[in-house]
Amino acid sequence: MWNRRNFLRSLGLASAGLALKPLDSLAQKTAASKNKQALKPIVLSTWRFGLEANAAAWKVLSTKGKALDAVEQGVKVTEADPEERSVGYGGRPDRDGKVTLDACIMDELGNIGSVAALEYIKHPISVARAVMEKTPHVMLTGQGALDFALAQGFKKENLLTDASEKEWKEWLKTSEYNPKANIENHDTIGMIALDASGNLSGACTTSGMAFKMHGRVGDSPIIGAGLYVDNEVGAATATGHGEEVIRIVGTHLVVELMRQGKSPQKACEEAVQRIIKLTRQRGKDLSKIQVGFIAINKQGEHGAYCIQSGFNYALHDTINGNRLIDAPYYLT
Ligand code: ASP
């Protein structure tokens, strides 16, 4: 079971003597008191690299910019960083040595855009946005996505850095596809934001599971799996083993649970529970998988939950600035 006290401590509530209150009643109270004044702007993103990405998003949000622009600007920081080996430039390749990228974006009106298995373009999130804004479609894949990107003026670049190539060559010696539970050979930046006008948007981008089969697509570019936004309710994004997220259409589920009145925290917990149940039902080893969800609602309340320890997320709000929080988890 996850450690509720630690989670409350991370929110700064344990010392206020609130540690024993059930999260839901706490969340309901908070929601009621914030009905008139939502906590906004606010931005939330997955993993440690979310701190830097949030800082870029905050430049947009703090000057009354749109959540859509904030999430795009935010995740572009991670995409451009060759040291981040699981997103964009410098991402680990598939088993054929090709860096293939997945990304999607969604705005407050329900506009969506997505690219999958895109090669040679440093900022797949901006190509996803171009799919959203300039085509009658919502998703382009592989060569078609690349042709579109080039026609839009995106530059063709080699995304395979020496470090990632070296790791791939090392991997080829055994060629065993065995993704670890946490950050070792995958990770996604998923970012969700509520802007000063009270509108929600989200972005999600990744190079996917390292050494995956060529053509494999994870949850990250799939609206409803890796990312979902409903401007009436809230937004959610996911990281971890994409196959498991797709299996439950994870972020759509989180948002629908919030629509039914669940707090973002409770909604993330229930979605993770759904994965746990299916994993056990299918006779698979739960200790080998990791999935993490983060969510916000229209009041600016947030939540996060994952299967096992090690997942953290970055939160930037007007009260406490930008910080990294360890997500509560199921397996101890
Ligand atoms: N969800 C991503 C994928 O399955 C990877 C990750 O977030 O760790 O491609």
CATH for 122: 3.60.20.30
Residue nearest to atom 8 of ligand 1 (CA): 187
Q: What is the pTM of this model?
A: 0.89
Is 186 domain-assigned? yes
CA–CA gap between residue 148 and residue 153 (Å, rounded) = 9
Q: Is the pLDDT of residue 250 over 70?
A: yes
Is 9 domain-assigned? no
Is 169 domain-assigned? yes
Which pLDDT value is given to residue 181?
Answer: 61
pLDDT band at 37 (very low <50, low <70, confident <90, very high): confident
Which pLDDT value is given to residue 2?
Answer: 39
34 C-alpha vs ligand 1 centroid, how far in Å?
34
Which pLDDT value is given to residue 21?
Answer: 41
Is 3 domain-assigned? no
Residue nearest to atom 9 of ligand 1 (CA): 208
The domain total for the chain is 1
Is 211 domain-assigned? yes
Ligand 1 pocket test, pick from 100, 207, 209 with the greatest ligand atom count within 8 Å of Cβ, gives 209
Mean pLDDT of 38-48: 95
Ligand 1 pocket test, pick from 46, 185, 186 with the greatest ligand atom count within 8 Å of Cβ, gives 186
Residue nearest to atom 4 of ligand 1 (CA): 242
221 C-alpha vs ligand 1 centroid, how far in Å?
10
161 C-alpha vs ligand 1 centroid, how far in Å?
20
Which pLDDT value is given to residue 1?
Answer: 38
Instruction: Give residue ranges with CB within 6 A of ligand 1.
Output: 186-188, 206, 208-209, 218-220, 239-242
Q: Output the CA torsion sign for 8, 316, 241, 24.
A: positive
In sequence order, which residues have a C-beta less than 8 Å from that of residue 46 and are 6 or more positions away?
187, 188, 189, 190, 191, 237, 239, 292, 294, 311, 313, 314
Atom number of ligand 1 nearest to Cα 190? 7
pLDDT band at 13 (very low <50, low <70, confident <90, very high): very low
Which pLDDT value is given to residue 182?
Answer: 63
239 C-alpha vs ligand 1 centroid, how far in Å?
5
Out of 188, 206, 239, 279, the active site residue is 188
Mean pLDDT of 100-127: 98
Q: State the residue range of the domain holding 253.
A: 39-320
Atom number of ligand 1 nearest to Cα 245? 1
pLDDT digits (tens, 9 = 90+) for 141-178: 999 999 999 999 999 999 999 999 999 999 999 998 87
Atom number of ligand 1 nearest to Cα 226? 1
Is 47 domain-assigned? yes
Q: Copy the structure tokens of residue 243.
A: 């196959």
Q: What beta strand segments (E) does 61-181 contain?
A: 101-106, 112-118, 139-141
Is 6 domain-assigned? no
Residue 284 carries which DSSP code?
Answer: -
Mean pLDDT of 219-230: 98
pLDDT band at 38 (very low <50, low <70, confident <90, very high): confident
CA–CA gap between residue 256 and residue 238 (Å, rounded) = 15
Ligand 1 pocket test, pick from 182, 204, 206 with the greatest ligand atom count within 8 Å of Cβ, gives 206
Whether 188 is catalytic is yes
299 C-alpha vs ligand 1 centroid, how far in Å?
28
Which pLDDT value is given to residue 52?
Answer: 98
Is 144 domain-assigned? yes
Identify the bridge partners of residue 102 per DSSP, sorted by sequence position: 206
209 C-alpha vs ligand 1 centroid, how far in Å?
6
